[in-house]
Amino acid sequence: MTGTKEGAKPRVLLFLNRLVIGGPAIDVISMAGFLQNDFEILIIYGEKESHEVEASYLLSKYPNLQLKKIPTLRRSINPFLNISVFFSVVKIIKSFKPAVVHTHGAVPGVVGRLAAYFCRIPVIIHTYHGHFFHSYFNKAFSTAIILIEKTLSRISDVIIATSSRQLNDLVDKYKIAPLNKVTVIELGIDDAFLSIANQQVNSSFVSKYDIKEDTIRVGIIARIVKVKNFPLFVDVVAEVFKKTERKVVFFVIGDGYLKADIQKLFSDKGISWSSNESLHEGASVVFTSWVSNIGEALSVLDIVVLTSNNEGTGLSLAESQYVGKPVVATNVGGVPDTVVEGETGFLVSPADADTFAEKLLLLIEDDKLRKEMGIAARVFARNKFSKKNEIHSLKQLYIDQLKKNSN
pLDDT digit string, tens, across residues 274-285: 987 777 778 999
SS3 of 297-357 = HHCCCCEEEECCCCCCCCHHHHHHHHCCCCEEEECCCCHHHCCCECCCEEEECCCCHHHHH
CA dist 92 and 297 (Å) reads 38
195 in the same domain as 171: no
Domain membership of residue 6 (yes or no) is: no
DSSP 187: -
300 in the same domain as 232: yes
pLDDT digit string, tens, across residues 67-122: 999 998 876 666 677 899 999 999 999 999 999 999 998 889 999 999 999 999 99
Q: Are strands 182-184 and 158-161 parallel, antiparallel or unpaired?
A: parallel
Helix axes 106-118, 79-96, angle to 10 degrees: 50
| pTM metric for this prediction | 0.85
Confidence check: pLDDT of 257 > 70: yes
Identify the domain containing residue 89 by its residue range.
11-188+386-406
CA dist 214 and 195 (Å) reads 24
pLDDT band (50, 70, 90) for residue 24: confident
CA dist 79 and 232 (Å) reads 33
The predicted structure's pLDDT at residue 82:
80
The predicted structure's pLDDT at residue 134:
56
pLDDT digit string, tens, across residues 133-189: 655 556 777 788 889 999 999 999 999 999 888 898 899 989 999 999 999 999 999
pLDDT band (50, 70, 90) for residue 398: very high
Taking alpha carbons only, the member of 219, 224, 231 closest to residue 319 is 219
**Which of residues 34 and 61 earns the better pLDDT score?**
34
212 in the same domain as 156: no
163 in the same domain as 198: no
Contact 106, 132 (CB under 8 A): yes
Domain membership of residue 2 (yes or no) is: no
Taking alpha carbons only, the member of 305, 309, 62 closest to residue 192 is 62
Identity of the amino acid at 144? A
The predicted structure's pLDDT at residue 44:
96
DSSP 228: G
198 in the same domain as 180: no
Helix axes 315-322, 23-35, angle to 10 degrees: 70
117 in the same domain as 44: yes
The predicted structure's pLDDT at residue 78:
66
CA dist 87 and 89 (Å) reads 5
CA dist 239 and 218 (Å) reads 14
DSSP 271: -
The predicted structure's pLDDT at residue 137:
58
pLDDT band (50, 70, 90) for residue 4: low
351 in the same domain as 303: yes
Domain membership of residue 3 (yes or no) is: no
pLDDT band (50, 70, 90) for residue 341: very high
Number of domains making up the chain: 2
208 in the same domain as 155: no
pLDDT digit string, tens, across residues 343-366: 999 999 999 999 999 999 999 999
DSSP per-residue codes, 81-147:
HHHHHHHHHHHHHHHH--SEEEEESHHHHHHHHHHHHHTT-SEEEEEESS--SSSSS-HHHHHHHHH
User: Strand order of the sheet with strand 100-104?
Assistant: 66-69, 40-46, 11-18, 100-104, 123-128, 158-161, 182-184
The predicted structure's pLDDT at residue 287:
95
Domain membership of residue 93 (yes or no) is: yes
Identity of the amino acid at 94? K
Domain membership of residue 182 (yes or no) is: yes
Domain membership of residue 329 (yes or no) is: yes
199 in the same domain as 159: no
The predicted structure's pLDDT at residue 53:
73
Contact 251, 210 (CB under 8 A): no
Contact 235, 268 (CB under 8 A): no
The predicted structure's pLDDT at residue 293:
77
393 in the same domain as 325: no
Contact 387, 189 (CB under 8 A): yes
Taking alpha carbons only, the member of 87, 85, 70, 2 closest to residue 40 is 2
Query: Which CATH number characterizes residue 117's domain?
Result: 3.40.50.2000
292 in the same domain as 356: yes
Average pLDDT over residues 298-310: 93
Domain membership of residue 283 (yes or no) is: yes
Backbone angles phi, psi at 47, to 5 degrees: -85, 140
